[in-house]
Amino acid sequence: MTRLFLIAGALLMSLPATAQDKPEWTLVIHGGAGVMERGKMTPEREAAVRKALDASLEAGSKLLATGGSALDAVEAAVKVLEDDPNFNAGRGAVFTYEGTNELDASIMDGSTRKAGAVAGVTRSKNPISLARRVMEDSPHVMLAGKGADQFSAEKGLEQVDPSYFATEERRRQLETLKAQKTSWFDVDRKFGTVGAVAMDARGHVAAATSTGGMTGKRWGRIGDSPVIGAGTYADDRACAVSATGAGEYFIREGVAHEICARVRFKGERLKAAADVVMAETKALGGTGGVILTGPTGEMAWSFNTPGMYRGKVSAGGKKTVAIYGDED
């Protein structure tokens, strides 16, 4: 009998920590990456951002703690950030060169690998909810522009006047860009895209991402956020990823899918896979970050910028909200 107990104990000790300590559910969020430095952040701005990140975690974790799905949780978490003008998504989205707000979003269910995305929408209060309706109520994966706006109205999603998304701070950034003929990144020095990834009590994962794009974007430019495999990806066989950064480079690298592929086929831990892919993206010239979670309950993030608005929480675990690179 003693021998059996010893064998059982040895087997237990040999199991990976993720199998022994797997939480019932997990949630990780981001509100953009970039030059977030203590000396350049007012106390009021920092407090507002931390409060919003906390509220986003609360919205998603409340659903997960009561048996809700990962898909419901990431949508709820992202909606909170879309409604907050401190982020470049929904209300508070940046302006195009022509002075309009054009919004992009995507969502993916890791259990079925169904996905929905929208690009260049102008009237849906919460673009992430529209992306989900594309996934669930249409035969398509991505809708854009006027067609996406029409679909949104037909499905009864909350519509707003385009002026709802505009803020004076974002208008100032556009005017600065035009007056100084500077680059879009130099205006704000960060990517305000928002996103969430989650694992629910059934072990399913999901990912969601929403953005207003880049200040002064032209010609109907679309970045990585609505591109499945670049800015968003979820697969129960690997992990869920939401990205924020220089979209053109994230598309070229296929960042979100590339990370999931390394986890699935090479067996890499989430942080290790993300670090490799983010290094490759930086080598191309792209900066930004990613958040991740997987069916093992592992949570991670990786970014190659000075900071990233981010947060995480799990069942029975400590809630973390962070901004700067030296926080964790």
Task: Give the active site residue among 26, 122, 193, 287.
Answer: 193
Residues in the chain: 328
Give the position of tokens 């509100």.
Answer: 31
- Degrees to nearest 5, angle at CA 173 with 36 and 185: 50
Could you confirm whether 193 is annotated as catalytic? yes
Query: Taking a C-beta distance cutoff of 8 angstroms, is the pair 198, 28 a contact?
Result: yes
Residues taking part in catalysis: 193
